[in-house]
Amino acid sequence: MDPATLANAFATSRCFVTSNIIGATTMEQLKVDIAAADVAITPEIEARIDAVHQWRGNPCP
């Protein structure tokens, strides 16, 4: 999965997000961003995302 697709799907899956703003400047970027609408963040995917977050931590301390 493209990292941008995953990021957009994750952001959209948060209950507090009311709008996911994308900044596509090419048709290819737009296709990648729109593909996020078809991605469901399953508990398994969320667990893998959380594992990466635990490994890397907050990049903006």
Total domain count, the chain: 1
Domain-embedded: residue 61:
no
CA angle 43, 47, 48 (to 5 degrees): 120
Interval 2-41: pLDDT, tens:
999 999 999 999 999 999 999 899 999 999 999 999 999 9
Q: What's the one-letter identity of residue 7?
A: A
Query: What is the domain extent for residue 28?
Result: 3-56
pTM score of the predicted model:
0.79
pLDDT at 60 over 90: no
Distance, in Å, from the CA atom of 60 to the CA atom of 4, rounded to the nearest integer, reads: 20
CA angle 19, 32, 59 (to 5 degrees): 65
- Tokens 């508990």 belong to 43
Domain-embedded: residue 50:
yes
pLDDT at 61 over 90: no
